[in-house]
A and B are shown apart, each in its own frame.
Chain A
Amino acid sequence: MPKSLPLSHLFLALALIGFFLVPYAWSDSRVIVGYCVLTAILAIMSYGVDMITSDLGEVSLGQALFLAAGTYGVGIGTTRLGLSPVATLALSIVVALALGAVLGFITLRVREFMFSLVTYCAAVVAHEVAYNLEFLGASEGILGIPSMELTLGPFSYVADTNLRLWPIVFLMLLLVLGLMALFRRSTLGAEALMSHLNPDLAESLGVNLRRTRLKVFLLSAPVTAVGGWLYAYQRNYVGPDVFEPYFIMLFLSAVILLGKRLLLGPLIGVALILFQERFLSLGGDGNKVFLGALLVVMLLALPRGALSLFRK
């Protein structure tokens, strides 16, 4: 007799199916379709941060570097090299891995605030480079990125609207969710958690802390880069604004909001934050105050996340 699915899996499946159908149910509303697409893209980026924050116990403030690897991979790949979406995806991932390897190597010997500050420095310097380097479009960025066009033999699919981009974005979200679930069940996931919760014990059991940290860092880089890759096609533009502190604030808030190590946590977190920004906006500066206050209040009042209110 086949085993019945646990209730949580059923809830997960229903929630994702429901989310997938929302843009089609409100296909006339550009606002709702755009909201869903952006939520999924930013959630994908957040999962890269989630891996490092929730599992490794570090705060990487350099994740914008990998986001930029994805966006600039598309910008350079399409406008200068004429690459296809699949090729720009490969380029984005390779660049993110290379950047992750360099940053991971530098931060091998540092932890906690030193790790955060070094990654923060890396993001600030990358911003300076992107802002000044003509090759990367400098302060103007790269305009004229074409819509994503997938071709297979005689078939072609052009994602020239948010609604047409949605299935691709959703598919990538599912892949990232699958990767997160596999990671947390894997030996690497267990080693990452052990090295975070009790590094001495982890080492005594034979876990190589530095190697584990580097592997997790390298795994998180392409995840965020994939989000960047989609973001570039969605906006048809790439610029140094991807280095703005807004992104890291959003990612951290999304990861923390419901509670760490929850599979749908970052997705729901991003959805709630973007809902406030899109439908209950307080203006640019007001939204900054709200997002910052959300982060502070959550950590001070509910350090285990909002779901801890409903747990015994």
Chain B
Amino acid sequence: MQLSYFLQLLLNGTVAGLGYALIAIGWTILLGMARLVNFAHGTMYMLAAFVTWYLMRMQGFEYLPAILVSCLVLAVLCIVMQHMMARQIQTQDLTSIMIITLGISYILTGAAGLFFGGTPQNIASPLRALRLTVGDVRLTGLDLTIILVTLIIYAAVWLVLRRSRIGAAMRALAEDGKLAQLYGINPALLLGGIFAFEGASVALAAGLIAPRAPILTTMGFQEVILTFVIVVIGGIGSVPGALVAGLAIGIFISFFSALVSSAFALSAVFATLLVFLVARPSGFGKGI
């Protein structure tokens, strides 16, 4: 294998992996802090991509404002979901929460199909046109933005969790919700913030990653799987773990697709997950 080809695969994998990590950050926090799962996460990614596309194509928004509005829409959607499931969240009825979010996922898929239609669409990001070349290795402005934004978001989340009062309150919530409430922490407000962050972060991820390929209202399932694998392998609730796991999976998929088979790349990732579940169920990283 030529060095330039190897470096190109490595770079492609890095971009894809950091993209996966960006999609997964909201779920990592939701799972780590509140022990909750959201099966609509992948469908929310699809919805955010279509909201961005719709605002740009139909409403004449520029790329960045469209992403920001999409973040707002998804944050509000997640807060609505939190309020809908308030009773189940309070009683930690995880089975019902799983099925409800699965139902919401199906509603969103159907509603997106009705509203946006079944035709594949493209998000016209101006960053795609920007081409950078280092030797024989190429990347676009969008790739570079994904790398930078993901690293900034992860650093910011890590700092907030470790160095701020909000972070301390979140860790207290994760440790013992009832005791945290006695100490004056408002769990509902904090949960609202976590849900809003999940929605906004997945919308940001969609705004940056979705322009790399045509978008369809049926997409989202692959994103859920990859997010899950990242969260498990990274260690449930571990922010650095999710970043490393996302990166590792992106690079693995890049090399596996190029050298073995692109059709079975996801299966190979799943096989890796199975090995982890049997050998190391707690993942690599430590929880929050």
Contact = CB atoms under 8 A, between A and B. Distances in A.
Interface of A: 53, 57-59, 61, 106, 109-110, 112-114, 116-118, 120-122, 124-125, 128-129, 131-132, 245, 248-249, 252, 256, 283-296, 299-300, 303
A170 B218 CA distance: 35
Given A113-B94, A249-B103, A295-B103, A106 B111 contact: no
Interface residues of B, number: 41
Given A296-B104, A303-B96, A284 B263 contact: no
B172 interface: no
B73 interface: no
Majority SS at the chain B contact face: helix
Contact of B263 (A53, A124, A128, A295): A128
Given A128-B263, A295-B100, A110 B95 contact: no
A116 B39 CA distance: 10
Majority SS at the chain A contact face: helix
B224 interface: yes
Interface string B213-225: 0000000011011
Contact of B105 (A131, A132, A292): A292
B277 A110 contact: yes
Interface stretch (B14-22, B179-187, B265-273): B265-273
B113 A285 contact: yes
B74 interface: no
Contacts of A303: 96
A100 to B, nearest CB: 15
B110 A287 contact: yes
Interface of B: 37, 39, 84-85, 87-88, 94-96, 98-100, 102-111, 113-114, 221-222, 224-225, 228-229, 232, 263-264, 266-267, 270, 273-274, 277-278, 281
B220 to A, nearest CB: 10
Nearest to B40: A292
A251 to B, nearest CB: 11
B207 to A, nearest CB: 24
A125 B102 CA distance: 18
18 contacts: A57-B95, A109-B277, A110-B281, A112-B95, A116-B37, A116-B39, A120-B228, A121-B273, A124-B270, A125-B267, A128-B264, A129-B264, A249-B106, A291-B106, A292-B109, A293-B103, A295-B103, A303-B96
Contacts of B228: 117, 120-121
Contacts of A59: 95, 98-99
A289 B98 contact: no
Given A113-B94, A289-B110, A106 B99 contact: no
A112 B94 contact: yes
A296 B100 contact: yes
A292 B99 contact: no
Given A110-B281, A128-B263, A295 B110 contact: no
Nearest to B114: A285
Given A112-B94, A129-B264, A299-B88, 5 more contacts: A106-B274, A285-B109, A289-B107, A289-B111, A291-B103
B114 A292 contact: no
Contacts of B87: 300
